[in-house]
Structure 1
Amino acid sequence: MTLLTDNPIYDLFLVVTALLVVIFAYFHRSYQYWKNRNFPYLEPTFPLGNSPYLFTSTVGFGLDTVKYYDEMKKKGYKFGGIYTITSPALVLVDPDYVRDVLTKDFHHFVDRGHYHNERDDPISAHLFSLDEKKWRNIRTKLTPTFTSGKMKMMFHTVLETSKYMTDAIETSALERKDIDIREFLSCFTTDVIGSCAFGIECNSFKGTEAEFRHMGREIFAVRGLRILNLILISKMPRLALKLGLKANNDHVSKFFYEVVQKSIKYREDNNFTRPDFLQLLIDIKNQTKDTENPFTMDQLVSQVFVFFVAGFDTSSSTMNFTLYELCKHQDVQDRVREEVNEVLERHGGQFTYESIGELKYLQQVIDEAQRLFPPLVVLTRVCVKDYKLRNTDLVLEKGTRVVIPLYSIHRDPEYYPEPDKFDPERFNSENKKSRHPFVHLPFGEGPRNCIGLRFGLMQSKIGLATILSKFRLRISPKTDMPLRLHEGVLLLQSVNKLYVTAEKI
């Protein structure tokens, strides 16, 4: 080996110094991106850019967007550039630009920019993450599965499952036990999705280690090498794809594949059908098998998987935060209960698909809870072709990520006076009409909004209505108040558990 000098230690020093100079020069050049294009931007800091959660987060953006939004708002920016390490992203502040990206000029922003690896991790190639062409193909096939008629088919399954939950709450109430309500709600959503998406009984209320409940936890478990894996996926997706990194644990993927394939085989062997989501997907698979774009087994399993993930976490989170606010505001809880009882009386003491739609005040309460605690902290889109921003000469280049900070928009005092106050009247018909339509987006908006939002709302309303019709809930002294939120996560979660006491009515 040829030495630069006669001193190997000095040689090492020179090499390391040269390498650091090259790296710093690369970062410095990268940090000129927004400045060179005349965009307003926030000053980045070497080497993380504007991303403080490199090693504490496994997603690209979390509650750090609150800082970006507040700073841009103070500066009067309608949008502004930031950097995740060296990757540029545009944060939207003005809701008119949010509307442009999500609806008006959607064809420029079709992709979400979420990682998926069809080759090594086919279960990750679901509707939420797919790019434009494949997304359109799958979305077209799946849209008919969420019509009112299909929702009605699954209504009784959801209602029946809610009874197992209220039975479990009643047992705890009689024994005067504190209830970890998020755990009960997660068991409820696990059993609903297990039945509607897989056609099997999960029995989550019969034990905390019910297999589906365990796998629900495993999907979101982040430990060991998976931490590094997910950091690379979120921060350097192109490199992650080349390395063949997987978004999901192998044992989780294996479990879902085996469960779905076993259920399909049983139905086909026994000529058995069931009014659920899985049957609708089986029908699509059979109807398209001889077409140019068949609905494959990989595609079927991945859609069932994301249906499980979305229904399991976002619905239980919505109900958890709603009950948190209702426990703090007993007068609102009383009003919801009064509405529920009036609706039950009109329908012979039974919940029906139509009666759930009559719970208007409960819907206001859910809307307000989702304003304060949106299931997703941010929405992301990727510019798929160069785009000129309205009323400017600025052009957003193809491949640039766009960030819509939902949590911050939802708590902006310009749109919601006293934004941290829980007030369901914000969502009465009169107040809703007076607000910009794009400052409340718990499920997104436009062609790429959440396809299962109606199912999620139905599930949440049934769960909440059945609980409140039978119990008065109060926050237990065991709860560490107030609830604190995880900062570096995409799906909004509380750090501490919500324990409640239940009084049978």
Structure 2
Amino acid sequence: MYLLQIILSEIKLLVIISFILIYVWFKYKFTYWARRNIPGPKPLFPFGNVRDVIRRKQQFFEPYCESYYKFKQFPCVGLYSFHVPVLSINDPDLAKHVLIKDFDYFQSHGIFSSGVGNPLGGHLFNIHGQAWKNLRLKLSPVFTSAKFKTMYPLVEQIANYALQYSDTVYQNGEAINFSDFYEKYSMEIVGSVGFGVECNGLKNNDSEFYQRGHEYFEPKSLYWTIIRAISFFAPEFFKKLRINRINPEINKFFFNLVKESVEYRQQHNYRRADFLEALIDLKNEGEKLKSNDTDTSDTFTLIDVAANTMLYMFAGYETSATTGQFAAYELARHPDIQARARDEILTVLQKHGGECTYEAQNEMTYLNMVLDETMRIHPPMRALFRRCTKDFRLPDSDVVIEEGTLVFIPIHSIQMDPDIFDDPQRFDPERFTPERKVKMHPCHWMPFGEGPRKCLEI
């Protein structure tokens, strides 16, 4: 009994000492920015500045956006995700250095949007360095106006289908939930153009494609929510341990879907003007190189096809759904703007024989201004991330951003800054006339990102 008490006392002492050491270690880590004379909000043990994010009281970008207003007089602010230092950029000119002028120092997004490793993690958003350059070069022809034009009939078909659905709901005297409507509408487009399938989510809430796709962005369980939040700021740790931050069942579903679609098209010599077909063409070109004994280190495999269909979902679903929802909301709030946009649409359609063609949409200047203003107030991406890939000295400063440091650019805060956009809460599409837009600072409005890593064909 006496021996047991001694053992328990020693264990208790060991736990206390371990806790003290961990606490002291965290407190030292929390001096990282102070030692570099970078201001910032006080971090809390052990969360740093993301306690409310982990407690699901804030979205991941909110602590950084809040710091923008509290420390606006400084060009950058130092925060912490747990013990990991994160530099938040306040000054648009400094953001221009990070995103454009000195892009070579910030090539990596620094985060993972998909599963770590094969089969779905190796898409354009996740990789950096030479691998990113090679893949971007391959995919650039897929994201051209000419390619989009060939795919447009699929989008128009789904738009007509969505219109019929909304007419039916209206005729039945029911209200349309625009959030639900645009989420399903966007997923229909992703399914058809990106994966070559009809998910029928507008009429079928149990559509597996829609359910799996929705879960890809919004985890159902607390476990996957926490895993995603932690891995967001420690991707290299998850990569080394090969830990997925996405439910493997989701990865498995989409990989098998792509694999079966590719096999069917090849076996039946079936072609379809969609994004998947463009990726299949890249794969076939790679196989030809392999058969000719050409260097195959840079070819395009089935795994690459699957990964980059997920890129299409990642880039096209939530961003489109969010923009559609808020555009409808703002037009409902501003009937005068809605009337002007509607008049323009009718005028352009009349010019094109009543057909909403690819060319017709490009002529709807005011409607595009409405969408641009929507994305200023309600950006689909609230922030941009970059990871420093080699030491970088801040312009006109002795401060060095060390290799591996995560850099955050609070898009939403910049776009809602009254010193940049007068009366920023007011919805005013006139801010984005073609004449004004061309003169705009490149880092005052960044809904698609900026620099070499911005969305392709933007």
State TM-score, norm by structure 1.
0.84
Which of 165, 168, 177 aligns to 2:174? It is 177
Q: Is the 8 A contact 2:40 2:79 kept in 1?
A: yes
Q: Give the structure 2 partner of residue 56 of structure 1.
A: 55
Q: Give the structure 2 partner of residue 263 of structure 1.
A: 261
Q: Is the 8 A contact 2:110 2:235 kept in 1?
A: no
Q: Give the structure 2 partner of residue 86 of structure 1.
A: 83
CA distance in structure 2 between the aligned counterparts of 1:294 and 1:434, rounded to whole angstroms: 41
- C-alpha displacement at 1:354, in angstroms? 1.1
SS at match of 2:51: coil
Which of 281, 284, 291 aligns to 1:283? It is 281
Alignment of 1:139-158 (within 5 A): 139-158=136-155
Which letter maps to 1:62?
A: F
CA distance in structure 1 between the aligned counterparts of 2:420 and 2:218, rounded to whole angstroms: 36
- C-alpha displacement at 1:224, in angstroms? 4.1
CA distance in structure 2 between the aligned counterparts of 1:281 and 1:59, rounded to whole angstroms: 38
SS at match of 2:85: strand
Encode CA deviations 1:265-315: one digit per residue, 9 max, x unaligned: 111111121111111111111112323311111111010012123222110
| Deviation larger for 301-310 or 6-15 | 6-15
Per the alignment, do residues 94 and 116 of structure 1 end up closer, same or farther by CA in structure 2, a change over 3 Å counting?
A: closer
Per the alignment, do residues 326 and 182 of structure 1 end up closer, same or farther by CA in structure 2, a change over 3 Å counting?
A: same
CA distance in structure 2 between the aligned counterparts of 1:80 and 1:349, rounded to whole angstroms: 53
Uncovered stretches (5+) of structure 2, i.e. residues with no partner:
291-295
Q: Is the 8 A contact 1:44 1:83 kept in 2?
A: yes
Per the alignment, do residues 58 and 216 of structure 1 end up closer, same or farther by CA in structure 2, a change over 3 Å counting?
A: farther
Which of 410, 416, 422 aligns to 1:417? It is 422
Give the structure with the larger helix fraction.
2
Which letter maps to 1:47?
A: P
Q: Is the 8 A contact 1:90 1:403 kept in 2?
A: yes
Q: Give the structure 1 partner of residue 231 of structure 2.
A: 233
RMSD over aligned CA atoms reads 2.3
Which of 297, 305, 308 aligns to 1:300? It is 305
SS at match of 2:451: coil
- C-alpha displacement at 1:424, in angstroms? 0.9
SS at match of 2:88: strand
Q: Is the 8 A contact 1:124 1:248 kept in 2?
A: no
CA distance in structure 1 between the aligned counterparts of 2:145 and 2:331, rounded to whole angstroms: 29
Q: Give the structure 2 partner of residue 495 of structure 1.
A: none
Between the aligned residues of both structures, percent identity stands at 36
SS at match of 1:53: helix
Per the alignment, do residues 288 and 60 of structure 1 end up closer, same or farther by CA in structure 2, a change over 3 Å counting?
A: farther
CA distance in structure 2 between the aligned counterparts of 1:327 and 1:147, rounded to whole angstroms: 33
Q: Report the count of equivalent residues.
A: 450
Q: Give the structure 2 partner of residue 399 of structure 1.
A: 404
Which letter maps to 1:146?
A: F
- C-alpha displacement at 1:36, in angstroms? 1.9
| Deviation larger for 154-163 or 249-258 | 249-258
Per the alignment, do residues 22 and 2 of structure 1 end up closer, same or farther by CA in structure 2, a change over 3 Å counting?
A: farther
Which letter maps to 2:51?
A: P
Which letter maps to 2:318?
A: D
Q: Give the structure 2 partner of residue 198 of structure 1.
A: 195
Uncovered stretches (5+) of structure 1, i.e. residues with no partner:
455-505
Which of 450, 459, 466 aligns to 2:455? It is 450
Which letter maps to 1:280?
A: A
Q: Give the structure 1 partner of residue 293 of structure 2.
A: none
Which letter maps to 2:26?
A: F
CA distance in structure 2 between the aligned counterparts of 1:320 and 1:39, rounded to whole angstroms: 38
